A and B are shown apart, each in its own frame.
Chain A
Amino acid sequence: MSDILETISTAVIEGDVDEMVDLTEDALDEGLSAQEILDNGLMAGMDYVGVEFKAGNMFVPEVLRSAKAMQTAMDILKPLLVESGAPMVGKVLLATVKGDLHDIGKNLVGMMCEGAGFEVKDIGKDIEPEAFVAAVKEFEPDVVGMSALLTTTMRMMGHTIKALEEAGLRDRVKVMIGGAPVTQAFADEIGADGYASNAATAADLAKTFVSAA
């Protein structure tokens, strides 16, 4: 690995957001491709972060800082990657369902997915099924993530999936759901593609969806 890629990887691990623009531009100036910087610099760093987080050696605020560092670099790399036609990791659309304002978990999922290299579109909280449908049409995500904290609002996930079916969009996306009262059994019941019990496994789940596709 070249020195600059190793420096980028370390900066991601240390969450050195301020240095990321300069480092990324330096790497491009050295003639490295956007894809090389992504795969061997940014993702190498995030893979390490993922391992350390699961081992209990890194903590959520550190992981989020690393994800932010990665996103800072991605802002520069993304247009170049699109230009070169390189495949992106994928796109994730996120929201809490209608009636539910509890969004700390959904926000964490978004940040974890960004850290995993996804382009994340977070359309907020208390989102009606029709608004999910419109956002899927516009953003064309690979994965739709929904969350709810309340047993009363959980059922809106089922209604949202139904709305996607009726709009003819269900086959184009994988649906993952989460939130404190949500279970795998509930996911099966409403026809979701997957369930994750926390934000880190949600990002892993999203990765399995796009790699299987």
Chain B
Amino acid sequence: MRTNYVINSGVRFSMFSQDQLEEMFWGVLHLLEYTGLDVMHDEAREILKGAGAWVEGKRVRLPSYLVKKSLQMAPRSFTLFARDGNPKHNIKIGPGRAHFGPGPTCTHFIDPETMERRPYTKADVPLVAKMVDALPNIDFCESLGTVGDVHYDLGALYEFAGMFPNTSKPIVAWSYDKFDSAGIHEIAVAEAGGQEAFEHRPNYVHYCEPLSPLVSTFEAIDKLIFAARHRIPLIFTPCPIAGGTAPITGAGIITQGAAESWMGLTLAQALQPGLPFFMGGVYSVMDMNTMILAYGAPELPLFMAGLTELAHYAGLPLWQTGGCTDSKTFDGQAMIEGSMSVFFSALTGGDLCHDVGYTESAMTGSLFQLCAMDEAIGYARRITRGIEVTDETLAVDVIKAVGPNGHYLKQPQTRKLFKTEFWYPNLIDRQDFESWDMSGRLTMKDRTIARVRDILATHRPSAVKPETHKVIEKVLEEAEDRVKDKK
């Protein structure tokens, strides 16, 4: 037995000191108290006013005690459940746990057959969900695209309807408005077995995006209100661009973005105390030459690491970002940018890391980037798992038994641990030259393409209940009917 002994599980990583975190935390509270945000939703302003906010026109300012109270009400730890009860597909949110998944709303997609960039369609949704379901290091599902071949208003609904039956991993559902949100919720609740069952075992998370700088848009707030009233775990995540829609400094963009999230938090907790709530975002830079929001810039993982520490200091889980690139294709740039951000995200323990599989600065979704990043995440996870120090792992007895000039291949410890101590790649090649030559000189890209196509051809996700299929059809029919006269 050990006494007064500290164990570090995994690799430690930190940026800010306690003093810096406290200063940033109070920076956010001051921003909310003295500047506030414009909240473009009448009912939301009334609710916030009732909770203790100061309202002048559209501007809402929050006293710091109210934000602190709201932070206290939100849980740091909870579980998102696989729709089919498969415990391996559950996500346990809590300290020191990093999870990964794709992002939403790319207008384009890399065609899995032709490898060409083309508009994203309804038929692509099940492919993404299947890949997510099959890849061992991808934990939650988003669609990697905006469905372009249905009515403009129904893209998000078709997206969820396509994802839900094709993966049992928890889904992060993006939507345009509360009509989408209601349809999505109806499908998820049907599978869960009713609203109460859903509240006990939520199988998806609702995603809303306010506008930087300092605007809570009508749609974002309207969706938030729907999610809070139905006790759907919530992500409220701005996309500030340093130098464009946010200050150019890391501390500045984090302060502004956190304030944007915490306005949503305060409203959500006023409506539904204890609602699971992720703050977060995509925090990166505006490239001052190309004017794009850079998804591969080193500042993205850096800003996100700082934001993660602030979120955890404040007691909230974080919606992280990584595995994405500004590259247009499957190349060295895509692998450097994606892998570095994935590794950095894993180090921070940011709770749900999204946008894995984004290319072309979030304009094009790629199953190949997603599949390669699954490998990078596996690699990163082996590092962040760290080194265990016990009498057994110190292996003094084993070293003594082998002695000078011996070998460890036949040691019982080697046999016992070789599968768990080491990480085994799926895509990375470690053959000698001759074997690689004989096996066709395949590159990382070749192997990734083969794996993507193999999974799409062979993987069978668990089915949803037959009655859920009927609900999906009904929801889509009703939605088509609702928008049929709208151009």
Contact = CB atoms under 8 A, between A and B. Distances in A.
Do A and B interact with each other, yes or no?
Answer: yes
Interface of A: 53, 56, 59-61, 101-102, 104-105, 108, 151-152, 154-155, 159, 180-181, 183, 198-200
B94 interface: no
Contacts, number: 44
Residue of A56, A101, A105, A198 with most chain B CB atoms under a 10 A cut-off: A101
Given A59-B289, A102-B211, A180 B363 contact: yes
B107 A181 contact: yes
The B interface is mostly helix, strand or loop, or mixed, namely loop
B148 A198 contact: no
A159 B245 CA distance: 28
7 contacts: A53-B289, A56-B289, A101-B217, A102-B211, A152-B153, A183-B107, A200-B291
Contacts of B215: 101
B31 to A, nearest CB: 20
A152 B152 contact: yes
Contacts of B152: 151-152, 154-155
Given A155-B487, A180-B363, A200-B291, 4 more contacts: A59-B288, A61-B288, A105-B291, A152-B152
B405 interface: no
Given A151-B148, A152-B176, A108 B211 contact: no
Interface residues of B, number: 23
A65 to B, nearest CB: 12
B155 interface: yes
Contacts of B107: 151, 180-181, 183
A6 B289 CA distance: 26
Contacts of B105: 151
Contact of B291 (A56, A60, A181, A183): A60
Given A60-B288, A151-B148, A155-B152, A104 B211 contact: no
Nearest to B106: A181
The 3 A-B residue pairs whose C-beta atoms are closest, nearest first, are A59-B288, A60-B288, A181-B107
A101 B211 contact: yes
A171 B439 CA distance: 63
Interface in B174-207: 176
B377 interface: no
Contacts of B273: none
Interface in B274-302: 286, 288-292
B428 to A, nearest CB: 34
Contacts of B37: none
A180 B361 CA distance: 10
B10 interface: no
Nearest to A181: B107
A53 B290 CA distance: 9
A59 B290 CA distance: 9
Contacts of A159: 487
B244 A151 contact: no
B146 interface: yes
Contacts of B244: 104
